[in-house]
A and B are shown apart, each in its own frame.
Chain A
Amino acid sequence: MSSGKTIVSTGVTLAIIAAICTALVAATYHLTVDRIAANEKALLEQSLEPAIAGMLYDGSVSESRLVISPPHDLPGSGAAIIYRVYAEDRPVAALFVVTARDGFSGPIRILLGVDAAGVVTALRILQHRETPGLGDTIELARSDWVLQFDGKSIGDPVIGGWAIRGDGGDFDQLTGASITPRAVIRAARDTLIYFAAHRDEIFALPATEEEQ
């Protein structure tokens, strides 16, 4: 009898404290939700900026998001994201956010901008965990290495040229790191091949609905 009472009273205590804690979190959420959404949108547009710098386009790039669910031929096993850029309904560029899984430590998130003709507008590293001082020179903040992708396409260089010089390719290496640049170059090459094969489809598909 008394143990039954204990269970009830203990449960009630736990429930009351859970309710108070939930209220606290809910209040904080309401205070911050708008700022967080604005921050995320600003961050996204800021990170896409280098790939569309100097282009004329209509509307908001972040609203033309297309999510490609696996399986697909893009780098990475998870979903890939493509932002489409249009001017007067004509395709201008596609911005790929893909993941290279074969880096030195952990996935490397890459932004690759491709114009309508399949030429790279910019490549940037969005996120990585490569070794500080060695592999992290793929960041633009640390070296100019990523700038050599500008203006490249499938055919320039030819497929065999999409490798570091040490492997007989056309791309500069990074001192002390070879796995990292190989992963980035391979991801860029595979993305361009995917773009060439699916170009019309990419620009024709409607934007993927936001999940609520």
Chain B
Amino acid sequence: MTSAGIIKRLQNGLWHDNPGLVQLLGLCPLLAVTTTLVNGLGLGVATLFVLTCSNGLVSATRRWIKPEIRIPIYVLIIASLVTCIELIFKAWFPTLDRSLGIFIPLIVTNCAIIARAEIFASRNPIGKSIVDGIGMGAGFAMLLIVIGAFRELVGQASILSRLDMLVGGEPFDGFSFADSGLLIAILPPGAFFSLALAVALKNHFDSKR
């Protein structure tokens, strides 16, 4: 795979074919956990890891997998990887694990992951599939971070609150700009508004080109 090809794959995941902004996959975790930047970052990194490994494993085993049983095998691979990442979070990031709650195990049902296994990794060599996983995972993580930061800024008038969940140390309330924010941004409707705004902005940039 040439370096131009790698860049093109990454661009595809990050922008042109972004799982959240364009394919609109994996919206359940995207809408539910993005109340703060740190939450978005945590789930984003976990999803990136699972997506990259599952693409690699699916691609590596594609020769032996018959089309009839491909779905159970994808589910098996993805569920195992998610269990591993859940254990790793519980061991090294226990507070972040509690903050993300059920959404770590629910990565199993993130349709962006099985979609990449089905559409891409099952038909492409392992290197290409891993790059695709990194690109798509990073694209999804980027969107989680942007929406998390936006909702935190608007809803709590702060940024990077609970950074201690990632780096340890004393509880950290973030850099605060005002006493209170616009509550609706943190509530579920705010998630829909933020995502709609992000999709609209992307389409706006694309149409200007």
A residues contacting B by CB (< 8 A) are 6, 10, 13-14, 17-18, 21-22, 24-25, 28-29, 31-32, 35-36, 39-40, 43, 131-133, 141
B80 contacts across to A, CB distance below 8 A: 21-22, 24-25
- Please determine whether A17 and B187 come into contact, CB atoms closer than 8 angstroms: no
Could you jot down 25 A-B contacts, CB within 8 Å?
A: A13-B64, A13-B65, A14-B76, A17-B73, A18-B76, A21-B76, A21-B79, A24-B84, A25-B80, A25-B84, A25-B87, A28-B88, A31-B91, A32-B87, A35-B90, A36-B87, A36-B94, A39-B94, A40-B94, A43-B94, A132-B187, A133-B180, A133-B183, A133-B186, A141-B171
Bound complex: CA A156 to CA B104 (Å): 45
Q: B residues 63-107 with Cβ under 8 Å of A? A: 64-66, 68-69, 72-73, 76-77, 79-81, 83-84, 87-88, 90-92, 94
Query: For chains A and B in complex, what number of residue pairs have CB atoms within 8 angstroms?
Result: 63
Asked if B23 CB lies within 8 Å of chain A CBs, one says no
- Determine which of A18, A28, A40, A131 lies in contact with B84 in the assembled complex, contact meaning CB atoms within 8 Å: A28
B residues contacting A by CB (< 8 A) are 61, 64-66, 68-69, 72-73, 76-77, 79-81, 83-84, 87-88, 90-92, 94, 155, 171, 180, 183, 186-187
A17 contacts across to B, CB distance below 8 A: 61, 65, 73, 76-77
Main secondary structure of the interface of A (DSSP, over half): helix
Residue ID in chain A nearest B93 by CB atoms: A39
A24 contacts across to B, CB distance below 8 A: 80-81, 84
A13 contacts across to B, CB distance below 8 A: 64-66, 69, 73
